[in-house]
Structure formats: C-alpha cells, structure tokens
Amino acid sequence: MKELSLHILDVVQNSIAAGSTLVSINITEDLDTDLFIIEIIDNGCGMDEDYAEKIKDPFITRRKSRKVGLGIPLLYAAGKRCEGDLKIESKKGKGTRITAWLKHSHIDRAPLGNMADTIKILIVCNPEVDFSYNHKKNEKEFNFDTREVKRILGDVSISEMEVITWIEEQVKEGLKSLNGGADTL
C-alpha cells in the first residue's frame, strides 16, 4: 500500500515537469463527511481537455523513456479502491487542478505518510519553484508557503541545510497540531 504522500510527490512532479512556478497542495480531512481530499493546483503548461480526460489511463504519457505513465493512474486507482475518484481540470497555457478523494475511514485507505519529507524533497530539488501547502482537518488548519519563507530569508537560499531543517520542523509541528499532538494517519 503506497502512502498518499508518495502519490502527492508523483503528481507534483508532473506539475514541475509542466513548467509550473507555483504549486499548491491542499489536503482536506473532513471526518463529518468521511472524506480525505487531495487537491494539487499548478500554473504550468496545462493540457487539452480531451488529453486530460485520457490520462487516467496508464498508456497515455509524453514520456520518451517508457510507454506508460503511472503517476495519475495510481492515484486514481487509490481513490477508486476507497469509494473515491479523481478529477482533472486543465486549461492549456493556464494550469491544472487534480482533485482526488477517498473515503477517510476506508480500510484500504493508505496513511498520509510523511508530508514533512515530501515538502522538504520538493523544495530541495526545486528551490526556484514556489509551493503552498494547506492542510485542513475538520475546523483546524495549517498553512505553509515558500513565498513567505523566501520573503523572510532575503538573500539566503531556501535550500540551505538550516532552512530546510527548520521547514521540516514547521511542517511536522503544524501537522501535529491538527492531530492534537499525534502524527497524521
């Protein structure tokens, strides 16, 4: 069972490959409606409507190295397995929004995994791209935005080791506060 954070990492890689300068990762855990919603919005190159319809199918890809693309189909399958689904909205030249939802309490729903690590990897590998991470759990909410961090840092690079360690702590603590001090499942 693949952790949801690894699916998120895959889908955000698509946004980066599409030339995005800003990627928003929004997670909503609504225990009243029993939903776990993952939304990834980017301002990359986008796709045609009919192509966007097709990419849930693993045999559609622009990759040259192999014939199947798996990022989207795997998240789609994870949603389907848990009474959920996946929606792709995209405009060529404007950007893309991928929304996946799963039944929160479903026995097959993978745990979220390590979002602090995911955010850290994304920033270290793509320091020029901005990331915003918003995580809501019922009435509680945590926000993190690299644009704010960069504003405070001034000339210091966001990929400096001390900064990255600080970011990891921020995300860890933020997520703990959503869960009353416990780690997210």
Ligand X SMILES: Nc1ncnc2c1ncn2[C@@H]1O[C@H](COP(=O)(O)OP(=O)(O)OP(=O)(O)O)[C@@H](O)[C@H]1O
Based on the shown chain and the rule CB under 6 A, indicate whether residue 94 belongs to the binding site for ligand X: no
Which of the stretches 10-18, 31-39, 100-108, 109-117 binds ligand X when contact is defined by CB under 6 A?
10-18
Question: Look-up: residue for tokens 């799963």?
Answer: 102
Least Å from the CB of residue 62 to Mg ion: 10
Strands 130-137, 140-145: pairing is antiparallel
**Burial class of residue 60 (count of CB atoms within 10 Å of its CB; 0-12, 13-18, 19+):** middle
In this structure, what DSSP letter does residue 49 have?
H
Kindly state the smallest distance separating residue 161's Cβ from Mg ion, in Å: 28
Q: Which stretch binds Mg ion (CB under 5 A): 12-20, 87-95, 97-105, 152-160?
A: 12-20
User: Should residue 14 be labelled a site residue for Mg ion when binding is judged by CB under 5 A?
Assistant: yes
Instruction: Answer yes or no: are the C-beta atoms of 119 and 131 closer than 8 Å.
Output: yes
Site for Mg ion in 69-98 (CB under 5 A): 71
Select 19 or 183, whichever has its Cβ closest to ligand X: 19
User: Measuring CA to CA, which residue among 147, 139, 128, 135 is closest to residue 173?
Assistant: 135
The least CB distance from residue 78 to ligand X, in Å, is: 13
Interacting residue ranges for Mg ion, rule: CB under 5 A: 14, 71
